[in-house]
Chain A
């Protein structure tokens, strides 16, 4: 086996890549003994800019809301604190919504972290495993007295994001390039994210709908999920909610859990 110290170049090269307070490592040089400071900076710049660009690609609505300068400064802080742990960049930025929620300069935009959560769920749905959504006729074939025991298998792309703000409306308005009208941010909104086939779709869930969907997607039987939804919202309508979830492609199959 080779001596360890012969392969320690990466340990010397890596730490200053994301830390501007560190000098370029002494193991590198320009040609003929020339300084390597600006040469090393090329790698620093590639790393930082490409990771900021990766976050900007995942969170375009957040960037549109904050403007690019604010976004890039915020992203730079996050990258230094939490560099990617995977080489799959579409998996990066899972901690970014939490970072935004705690980011001092983002306090005037308390809905921003929830907009980011919807964008993260959007990209997860985009890359999720393809699966055929549940055919509504399957539900119609279940005996009425067994409906309460039905368990639903969630579609790989399906997710729910709840917000005490109008995060979904703000998200939708800022994923477009058209001018954004004034939005009242104070209405709580729940979003259902699905990709039944080609396109990721983000829908509003009606009152009680998020509790219902979350329970069903976590494998609780229909009867229990409906009871929890009614508790959360007395005017919850089970028939329209289950039809809406199935039509959106939130599930792939049903089974009788207790059977």
Chain B
């Protein structure tokens, strides 16, 4: 048992900040990989989990996450906060989220620019929002509340979109830039989402990235997507997280790293989960690209003499 990690999810548990993880590749943590991961011994990378899967009171999920967290940095990725929705945040959910941050001391904490709850129904999907002055104010207010609760900035993830709202009055990149400026939050740049949205809406992924506030990016997501077609028979990409990262997404990733420098990068794989070795190999491929743009001189922290 380690000292801090084993503490219960009491709201009285103090919030502590672990060191940044740097430009390393990580993977989604899936329970079916637990034994293989532990057999490998401590890894260089980090693991990311969906916060909601660990909001139960006890049992095997917490045991598994404690075992992983003991030797690795953790990224806590919320999927249900409904930051992009018009209704007030669920206070109970926010308290549970804070409890997890306190208990597991994640190096990275992120949520989505999306919503999933309306009135009392939870839809279990990342639903889109229009980009207007009204939604901007609402999203900023919700991020303020999350950041006040956990006493640190979150990383906000750009969505994958299949449609647009007629009422939108600004671009997604402008919206996201203003959110970071107003709230001080960082960004989780999902490169696959950029590629999916660009294909689905017929814009240039490179232009989107040129407009994106890359300096605020604290984490990158890479994932696989699936192909369908829209009403006119044109290609419609689905952000499915069920396969390897596409070649075009790897290329975009390299361009982002070239401009931004190496940041923690996650291979996200949530269904049709492969063997641990396959996931590990995807992370190794990301690490090769990250290392290519590592500053040649290792500066390290400068300490006062």
Number of A-B pairs, beta carbon distance below 8 Å: 153
Contact B127 A43 (CB under 8 A): yes
Contact A128 B57 (CB under 8 A): yes
Q: Which residues of A contact B201 (CB under 8 A)?
A: 31
Q: Which of A32-40, A109-117, A169-177 contacts B (4 or more CB under 8 A)?
A: A32-40
Q: Which residues of B contact A125 (CB under 8 A)?
A: 59
B121 at the interface (CB under 8 A from A): yes
Contact A42 B236 (CB under 8 A): yes
A105 at the interface (CB under 8 A from B): no
In the assembled complex, the Cα of A145 lies from the Cα of B110 at a distance in Å of 59
B212 at the interface (CB under 8 A from A): no
A9 at the interface (CB under 8 A from B): yes
Contact B134 A2 (CB under 8 A): yes
Min CB–CB distance A199 → chain B (angstroms): 8
In the assembled complex, the Cα of A45 lies from the Cα of B78 at a distance in Å of 21
Q: A27-B166, A35-B231, A83-B122 are in contact. Are A10 and B115 (CB under 8 A)?
A: yes
In the assembled complex, the Cα of A115 lies from the Cα of B146 at a distance in Å of 40
Partner of B57, one of A3, A8, A54, A127: A127
For A17-44 the 0/1 string (1 means CB < 8 A from B) is 1100000000111111011111110110
A7 at the interface (CB under 8 A from B): yes
Contact A39 B117 (CB under 8 A): no
In the assembled complex, the Cα of A58 lies from the Cα of B192 at a distance in Å of 30
Min CB–CB distance A118 → chain B (angstroms): 17
In the assembled complex, the Cα of A31 lies from the Cα of B234 at a distance in Å of 11
For B132-163 the 0/1 string (1 means CB < 8 A from A) is 11110110000000000000000000000011
Q: A10-B86, A34-B230, A84-B124 are in contact. Are A90 and B56 (CB under 8 A)?
A: yes
Minimum CB distance partner of A89 in chain B: B124
Minimum CB distance partner of B130 in chain A: A9
Contact A10 B85 (CB under 8 A): yes
Contact B134 A39 (CB under 8 A): no
Q: Which residues of B contact A11 (CB under 8 A)?
A: 118
Q: Which residues of B contact A30 (CB under 8 A)?
A: 163-164, 230-232
Q: Which residues of A contact B300 (CB under 8 A)?
A: none
Q: Which of A8, A30, A87 has the most CB of B within 10 A?
A: A87
A14 at the interface (CB under 8 A from B): yes
Partner of A17, one of B123, B133, B166, B229: B123
B90 at the interface (CB under 8 A from A): yes
Interface residues on B, range: 35 or more
Min CB–CB distance A100 → chain B (angstroms): 21
Interface residues on A, range: 35 or more
Partner of A31, one of B63, B132, B202: B202
Partner of B93, one of A87, A129, A157: A87
Contact B166 A127 (CB under 8 A): no
In the assembled complex, the Cα of A83 lies from the Cα of B82 at a distance in Å of 16
Partner of A85, one of B58, B120, B165, B236: B120
Q: Which of B80, B123, B162, B166 has the most CB of A within 10 A?
A: B123
Min CB–CB distance A72 → chain B (angstroms): 16
In the assembled complex, the Cα of A84 lies from the Cα of B90 at a distance in Å of 14
Additional A-B contact list (18), CB under 8 Å, known A2-B133, A38-B236, A83-B123: A2-B134, A7-B86, A9-B86, A13-B127, A14-B118, A29-B163, A34-B230, A37-B231, A38-B228, A40-B163, A42-B236, A46-B124, A87-B93, A87-B117, A90-B56, A127-B59, A130-B58, A130-B59
Contacts from A to B (Cβ < 8 Å): 2-3, 6-11, 13-14, 17-18, 27-32, 34-40, 42-43, 46-47, 50-51, 54, 83-90, 125-131, 156-157, 195, 198
Question: Could you list 13 examples of A-B contacts with CB < 8 Å?
Answer: A7-B138, A29-B163, A29-B165, A35-B230, A83-B122, A87-B80, A87-B117, A88-B55, A90-B53, A126-B60, A128-B56, A128-B59, A130-B62
